[in-house]
Structure 1
Amino acid sequence: MSSSLVLEFVSTVRANRSGPVDALEDAGGLTVWVADHAPDLGVDPATFVATPEMHEDVVALRQAIRALLARAVSPGRASGADATVLPAFESSLDLVNATAASVPVTPRLEWPQDEAPRARTLPARAAGDSARLRATLASAAIDLLAGPYRTQLRACPAPRCVLYFVKEHPRQEWCSAACGNRARADRHYRRHKNA
């Protein structure tokens, strides 16, 4: 869960034909994104509303995580979306660690009637939505970057793609079939253009 959550989070920077698009462009965009991911973030989508300050903090965290992902994929190339404007590695690392530590968590065993027991991770103390959601995202980034999937982390090399992905099989080169098709079409065009 945590690797897909953090990849979805950093993929709020996407590209279309006109260039990079930011799904978290404003507090409204953040509210929509959090509502779509509420179960993973431990937020009540019915009451969550992002503030401008929360938006600023979350976007700063996203950029810090993107800086760490750029370092993780090196010596390969980083995402072209923002590689030239990412914060410095050390300050990004400090921000992610401090954010993850801002809301201590504890496991809780839940055992509903006629179901298997399951563990949930909950804040160990009361925390506001902003701190809780940023701590969850920072912790997910730490899980990805310190876990076994880090070595399979890639920036998609397809033209105009700015996404990071986890390489799921040895022959996978792109984040999606659409990007693979676009890359092949681009290669075909370049070969025939120069012929």
Structure 2
Amino acid sequence: MERRLALELASTVRHDGDGGVADDLATAEGTTRWLGERAGLLTGCGVAGGFEADDALMDEIVELRQAVRALFARAVSPAPASPADAHRLMPADRALALLNAAAARELVAPQLDWPGESLPEARLLSAERDSGLRIVAALARAAIEFLAGPERERLRACAAPRCVRYFLKEHGLQEWCKPSCGNRARAARHYRRQRAADAG
């Protein structure tokens, strides 16, 4: 779950299909929609049923995303970072400080639920009433758990032209986040070879 939330936050910047970059968090409405679609991953944060993000929360989440993407770029190094970040990466020490500060803003205590014959389940109980603070802290904790976990070793930046996503490498030859990026990369290579042959 944490892996998915951290990757989904980083993936709110994506290729728009027309050669540009789309940002799912560019507006408060887009941020509200993105959070609402992840209400199941943000349980206890108050995003279900009528929650609306404001510009201040949008800005906090976008800044956190910049920190996460900077740390993702560090994790994939020495391979290249996503082209969306390469020219404007937040310094790693600032990204770490921002991520840790965001996670520390919420006072939480672990709680164990063990109803009847079900399996025991751990959850965090928050002392905070502010939904925005709980959301940002939950996103930061998800990124920390991902970056400190074993799946960080499989993190890659997609090598396809114009793609700006990070993904988890599932097999040894995987270079792209999805098949359409692989098709685009192969087409671009073919086009370059054809131009070189025509020029020669």
Give yes or no for TM over 0.5.
yes
- Aligned partners of 2:61 and 2:136 also within 8 Å: yes
The equivalent residue for 1:28 is 29
In structure 1, runs of 5+ residues without a counterpart are none
1:113 offset after TM fit, Å?
5.0
The DSSP-based 3-state class of the residue aligned with 1:50 is coil
Matches within 5 A, 1:52-63: 52-63=55-66
Root-mean-square deviation (CA, aligned residues, Å) is 1.5
SS of the counterpart of 1:41?
Answer: coil
The aligned residue for residue 4 of structure 2 is 4
Would the aligned equivalents of 1:103 and 1:127 in 2 still touch at CA under 8 Å? no
Matches within 5 A, 1:90-101: 90-101=93-104
Return the alpha-carbon distance in structure 2 between the equivalents of residues 127 and 93 of structure 1. Answer: 26
* 1:140 maps onto 2:148 in alignment: no
After superposition, residues 1-195 of structure 1 pair within 5 angstroms as 1-16=1-16, 17-42=18-43, 43-113=46-116, 115-123=118-126, 125-195=127-197
Identity percentage over the alignment?
50
Letter in structure 2 aligned against 1:24: L
Aligned counterparts of 1:45 and 1:62: Cα–Cα separation in 2: 21
Is the partner of 1:40 in helix, strand or coil? Answer: coil
Q: How many residues align?
A: 194
Structure 1 pair 74–126 and aligned structure 2 pair: CA distance change class (3 A): same
Deviations 1:22-78 (A, max 9, x none): 010011110000000012112332131101111111111111111111111111100
Report the Cα offset of residue 115 of structure 1.
3.6
Inter-partner Cα distance in structure 2 for 1:191 and 1:122:
58
Q: Distance in 2 between matches of 1:111 and 1:170?
A: 40
Q: Secondary structure at the match of 1:38?
A: coil
Structure 2 length-normalised TM: 0.91
Deviation per residue, 1:72-97 (Å, 9 max, x gap): 11111000013212222111110000
Structure 2 alignment gaps of length 5 or more = none
